[in-house]
Amino acid sequence: MDFSLTPEQNMIRDMVREFALKEIRPIAADTDREGKFPWETIRKMGALGLMGMTVPSEYGGSKIDVLSYTLALEEIGKVCGSTGLTMEAHNSLGVGHIFERGSEEQRRKYLPRLLTGEGLAAWALTEPNAGSDAASLQTTAVLEGDEWVLNGSKQFITNGSIADIITVMAKTDKTKGAKGISAFIVPKGTPGLVYGGEEDKMGLRGSVTSQLAFQDCRVPKENMLDEPGMGFIGAMQILDRGRTAIGALAVGLAQGALEECLDYAKQRVQFGRPISKHQAIQWKLTDMATEIEAARLLVHRAAFLEDRGVPFSKEASMAKLYASEIAVKAAVEAVQVHGGYGFTKEYPVERLFRDVKLYTIGEGTSEVQRMVIAKHLGL
């Protein structure tokens, strides 16, 4: 068993780390404070190939192995959760579903612009009354002539109001439950696509989270992804990939919290010496480091299995569950180590504390991950 990274993986990690430190970290606090979407940064990421990491070059992407992708997400997530979530939702969900389940014609028509950073992809599954129980979604799609007519609403859609392309799950046969759900490509500007309000969130404030409505929204017949009734199955497969990616973002945020603590603890003097010399602080930091490394290994194992084309659903859920909960713990401890300063916006740990909680909720709550794992255990 080889835990070392290849020269190419090290190169990708180092390149993304340098970019994150130079281009993203300096504006992360302002991005959060102003709730301003960092379009300029996203376009720079597109130029580096970071917005097309799940798609081969024949469509304009920079397809790399899954482990390298998780390394990139970790480096972005370490300095800015908002930018990391935008990148993940675009690559893993919006772009990923079109590439994995779309036809050759759909790939060539919709993917190229999305991979440059000039346009973003969104993925619309969640509804006001269908969160964890995604199969109970109520949005419908009815075939009328050569068009599908969509009606319904979606909630908590990352990139929703600013996306060029939205992949939408809707029921085409209400009598078949989850097997009656299909997926559709809905471009920006489609008549009947209505943008609702954007969520005023606790954290990840530089990431756009939108409500969407479909009011007799008509798309061409050929905009259905995959076969009728395959939307839910496709969505669950995409979520498996997304869970590994969310795990990587969580590891990145936790690592960022640890590094902030290490710097602060070496400088902050109490009782005549740096607090890093006090055992109470040392144990907090050593526990954080150990748990983060364990989470990182779970993420890498899920990525390793996906890269080899073998089942990884259980491992992805384990990685997402453990990494997200450890990241919350790390953020809490980071504020504690900083004391009163940690409760102010002067230090990044306050922002990390607010950002991290979403990772235990998005793309399947911790409770849902436990349900998935239990099923794989035969329970």
Active-site residue list: 363
* R_g over Cα of the chain: 21
DSSP assigned state of 130 = B
State how far Cα 81 lies from the chain centre: 9
Question: % helix / strand / coil in the chain, to the nearest 5?
Answer: 60, 15, 25
Q: Which amino acid is at 40?
A: E
The span from the CA of 112 to the CA of 90, in Å, is 13
* Inter-residue contact 140 to 126 (CB < 8 Å): no
Q: How many helices (H) and strands (E) does the chain have?
A: 12, 10
SS3 301: helix
Residue 58 CB burial class (10 angstroms; 0-12, 13-18, ≥19): exposed
Q: Residues, the chain, total?
A: 379
Phi-psi region of 159 (alpha: psi -120 to 50; beta: other; left: phi over 0): left
Tokens 């969509």 belong to residue: 150
Q: Return phi, psi of residue 127, to 5°.
A: -130, 165
Contacts for 93 with CB less than 8 Å, ≥ 6 apart: 121, 122, 123, 158, 167, 238, 242, 363
